[in-house]
Amino acid sequence: MLEELRGFVELETPSRDAGRIEAFVAAYSSLLDEAGLTCRQFPGALGPQLLAELPGEDPPIVVVGHCDTVWPLGVVAERPVDVREGKLFGPGAYDMKAGLCIALGVVRFLRDTGQSLRRRLQVFVAADEESGGTTGHPCMDEVLSPGSTVLVVEPPCPDGAVKVRRKGVGIYELKITGREAHAGVEPERGISAVDELARLVLEIHGWNDPARGIQLNVGTIAGGTAGNVVAGSATAGVDLRFDLPADGEEMERKLLALEPVNPGASLEVDGSLCFPPLVPTPETLRLGELACSIASELGLEISTGSSGGGSDGSYLSSKGHFVLDGMGVEGGGAHALDEHIVLESLPVRAALLAGMVVAVDEGC
């Protein structure tokens, strides 16, 4: 599993790089095919979605993951996979190539032990989770049967807990157009898009409300052409997190209603809510308790927890599926330079995932 994970990390899959994602999906499909699953690919602008399955009764048990990462092409050459101090470091290892590794391990376990399942088992690998699921979610709606039990191999909480609650996510871009002018000779002719952007950043950050679980962050800004030119354009990227669907809808309305102070400037807001919150349901909590029980039998003491990050699991829960998230491998540094997994967690979390598949199939 360790060597296979190394290969997965080295086969880079930057989000929105359809060609690289297609190459990874082809390689991963061949491994699932060798393990006895039937694979289908669904082409898309951001790369193919993958669905693999073993026959059985409905509703199915679905192991869900994604193959795209936040890392640009070439970063693995700059920071090669490194195994030290009981950890594997590598871009995308934690989020979430290790999850795909244990999913493959589970289907091989079923094959090698002759364990047959009553229910249909599916593995769905999304191509664009990191960029909001714009092509993955419609495909999920098309191919996943109603009432599926979904086990998401995203990383667990930092303490190893499985995830029964997640924040919702919205991703937006502000585009401001002003009018350029010479900043020294005739600044009065200009309309500064940067000035407008600065005001809007402060306004948006003022909407943060920790007590309600509302978080907004302007994470990127760009604008202007030179220091001696009144900026004619500026852009900003905005990230929204929220606990309740109504709060997400309220914040989106406020973002879409923003207006520049200077009537000569114009503002365009692009984007939308892309992940609803994962709100615990009785079935989610039951699945969480089952996972904790199986983990205890493996010598792993975990609990249920929550995350501020979005996930395809949140989307699937909102569509009526029974979801348990955070079934992946322990580690840390998601989207950071020190991204890594804990090596001893790899076989244990694979065993936990296998135990959950068998227990859910048996109706536990």
Residues pairing with 122 in the sheet:
53, 62
Clarify whether residues 262 and 337 are in a common domain: no
Clarify whether residues 241 and 193 are in a common domain: yes
**Average per-residue pLDDT for the chain:** 96
Clarify whether residues 59 and 182 are in a common domain: no
CA-to-CA distance for 318 and 223, rounded, in angstroms?
Answer: 38
Beta-carbon contacts of 122 under 8 Å, excluding residues fewer than 6 positions away, are: 51, 52, 53, 54, 60, 61, 62, 63, 144, 148
Clarify whether residues 67 and 182 are in a common domain: no
- Cβ proximity of 171 and 271 under 8 Å: yes
Please name the residue that has the structure tokens 């306004």: 203
CA-to-CA distance for 36 and 30, rounded, in angstroms?
Answer: 10
Report the CATH number that the domain containing residue 25 is assigned in CATH. 3.40.630.10
Clarify whether residues 271 and 147 are in a common domain: no
Clarify whether residues 158 and 262 are in a common domain: no
List C-alpha distances in Å: 245 to 249, 251, 276, 298, 308. 6, 10, 7, 37, 14
Residue span of the structural domain in which 329 resides: 2-166+277-361
Beta-carbon contacts of 363 under 8 Å, excluding residues fewer than 6 positions away, are: none
Residues pairing with 267 in the sheet:
176
List C-alpha distances in Å: 349 to 153, 162, 266. 10, 11, 51
Amino acid at 138: P
CA-to-CA distance for 364 and 101, rounded, in angstroms?
Answer: 25
Q: Which of 252, 275, 298 is the last residue of a domain?
A: 275
Please name the residue that has the structure tokens 């393990």: 35
Clarify whether residues 90 and 19 are in a common domain: yes
Token reading at 66: 């994604």
- Cβ proximity of 96 and 155 under 8 Å: yes
Clarify whether residues 91 and 223 are in a common domain: no
What confidence tens digit (pLDDT) does each residue in 147-188 have? 999 999 999 999 999 999 999 999 999 999 999 999 999 999
What confidence tens digit (pLDDT) does each residue in 8-23 have? 999 999 999 999 999 9
State residue 170's pLDDT score: 95
pLDDT above 70 coverage of the chain, percent: 100
Clarify whether residues 45 and 94 are in a common domain: yes
State residue 3's pLDDT score: 95
Clarify whether residues 264 and 354 are in a common domain: no
Clarify whether residues 188 and 139 are in a common domain: no
CA-to-CA distance for 116 and 37, rounded, in angstroms?
Answer: 13
Q: Which of 242, 259, 275 is the last residue of a domain?
A: 275
Q: Which of 258, 275, 292 is the last residue of a domain?
A: 275
pTM for this predicted structure? 0.90
> Which has the closest alpha carbon to 120: 109, 105, 133, 110?
110
What sign does the CA torsion over 127, 129, 133, 139 have? positive
Q: pLDDT band at 35, cuts 50/70/90?
A: very high
Query: Checking DSSP bridges between strand 57-66 and strand 149-152, what pairing results, if any?
Result: parallel
Count structural domains, the chain.
2
Clarify whether residues 213 and 356 are in a common domain: no
What confidence tens digit (pLDDT) does each residue in 100-151 have? 999 999 999 999 999 999 999 999 999 999 988 999 999 999 999 999 999 9
Please name the residue that has the structure tokens 């470091």: 89
Token reading at 135: 């092509």
State residue 310's pLDDT score: 86
Report the CATH number that the domain containing residue 246 is assigned in CATH. 3.30.70.360
What confidence tens digit (pLDDT) does each residue in 302-326 have? 999 999 988 999 999 999 999 999 9
Q: How many CA atoms lie within 13 A of 357 on its CB side?
A: 33
> Which has the closest alpha carbon to 64: 76, 46, 50?
50
* pLDDT higher than threshold 80 for residue 269: yes
CA-to-CA distance for 250 and 253, rounded, in angstroms?
Answer: 5
